[in-house]
Amino acid sequence: MIEGILFDMDGVLIDSEPVILHAAMTYFETIGIKTQPEDYIPFIGAGDRKFLCGVAEKYGKKLNFEEARDALFALYAEYANDRGPMDGVHRFIKNARKSGMKLALATSAARAKAEINLKAIGLEDSDFDCMVTGESIKRNKPNPDIYQLAALSMGLPPQECLVVEDAINGIKAGKSAGSSVCALTTTFTIPEIEEAGADYIFTSLDAFEDFSTKEEFDAILHASIGSDDRTVYGANKILKAPKAIMGDEALLKIAFDQALEARKNAYSPYSKYQVGAAVISSATNRVYSGCNVENSSYGATICAERNAILNAITSEGTIGIAALVVVSEDAPPAPPCAQCLQVLAEFSRPDTVVHLVDVAFAEGRGGTHTQYLFKDLLPHPFIFPSMRQ
Give the sign of the dihedral formed by CA 190, CA 196, CA 201, CA 206: negative
Binding ligand THU by CB under 6 A: which of 8, 166, 257, 305?
305
* Closest CB to ligand THU among residues 23, 303: 303
CA distance 272 to 268: 5
Residue 273 found at the interface with ligand THU (CB under 6 A)? yes
Q: Is the CB of residue 373 less than 8 Å from the CB of residue 353?
A: yes
Give which of 217, 176, 223 is closest to 196, Cα–Cα.
Answer: 176
CA distance 14 to 79: 12
- Residues known to be catalytic: 8, 10
Binding ligand THU by CB under 6 A: which of 301, 318, 342, 368?
301
Residue 221 found at the interface with ligand THU (CB under 6 A)? no
Q: Which residues have a Cβ under 8 Å from the Cβ of 345 and sit 6 or more positions away?
A: 234, 374, 378, 381, 382, 383
Binding ligand THU by CB under 6 A: which of 303, 309, 312, 322?
303
* Closest CB to ligand THU among residues 271, 370: 271
What's the start-to-end Cα distance of the chain, in Å?
35
* Closest CB to ligand THU among residues 48, 294: 294
* Closest CB to ligand THU among residues 177, 324: 324
Helix (H, G, I), strand (E, B) or coil at 104: strand
Task: Give me the DSSP letters along 309-377.
Answer: HHHHHHHHSS--EEEEEEEES-SSPPPPPHHHHHHHHTTEEEEEEEEEEEHHHHTTSS--EEEEEHHHH
Task: Give me the DSSP letters along 123-168.
Answer: --GGGSSEEE-GGG-SSPTTSSHHHHHHHHHTT--GGGEEEEE-SH
* Closest CB to ligand THU among residues 254, 291: 291
Shortest distance, position 356 Cβ to ligand THU, whole Å: 10
Distances (CA, A) of 6 to 119, 153, 196: 19, 11, 18
Shortest distance, position 283 Cβ to ligand THU, whole Å: 25
Binding ligand THU by CB under 6 A: which of 12, 132, 275, 319?
275
Maximum C-alpha span of the chain: 86
Q: Is the CB of residue 61 less than 8 Å from the CB of residue 33?
A: yes
Distances (CA, A) of 96 to 125, 224, 289: 16, 17, 36
Shortest distance, position 148 Cβ to ligand THU, whole Å: 51
* Closest CB to ligand THU among residues 21, 357: 357
Q: Is the CB of residue 204 less than 8 Å from the CB of residue 212?
A: no
Residue 304 found at the interface with ligand THU (CB under 6 A)? yes
Residue 271 found at the interface with ligand THU (CB under 6 A)? yes
Binding ligand THU by CB under 6 A: which of 337, 371, 387, 389?
337
Q: Which residues have a Cβ under 8 Å from the Cβ of 97 and sit 6 or more positions away?
A: 103
- Judged by CB under 6 A, the number of residues near ligand THU is 14
Shortest distance, position 254 Cβ to ligand THU, whole Å: 20
Residue 295 found at the interface with ligand THU (CB under 6 A)? no
Binding ligand THU by CB under 6 A: which of 15, 48, 165, 294?
294
Q: Which of these segments, 37-45, 52-60, 116-124, 331-339, binds ligand THU (CB under 6 A)? A: 331-339
Q: What are phi and psi of 195, to 5 degrees?
A: -60, -35
Shortest distance, position 334 Cβ to ligand THU, whole Å: 6
Q: Which of these segments, 36-44, 171-179, 223-231, 330-338, binds ligand THU (CB under 6 A)? A: 330-338
Residue 336 found at the interface with ligand THU (CB under 6 A)? yes
Shortest distance, position 259 Cβ to ligand THU, whole Å: 11
CA distance 389 to 214: 34
Shortest distance, position 340 Cβ to ligand THU, whole Å: 5
Residue 292 found at the interface with ligand THU (CB under 6 A)? yes
Residue 268 found at the interface with ligand THU (CB under 6 A)? yes
Shortest distance, position 304 Cβ to ligand THU, whole Å: 4
Query: Which positions lie near ligand THU, rule CB under 6 A?
Result: 268, 271, 273, 275, 292, 294, 301, 303-305, 334, 336-337, 340
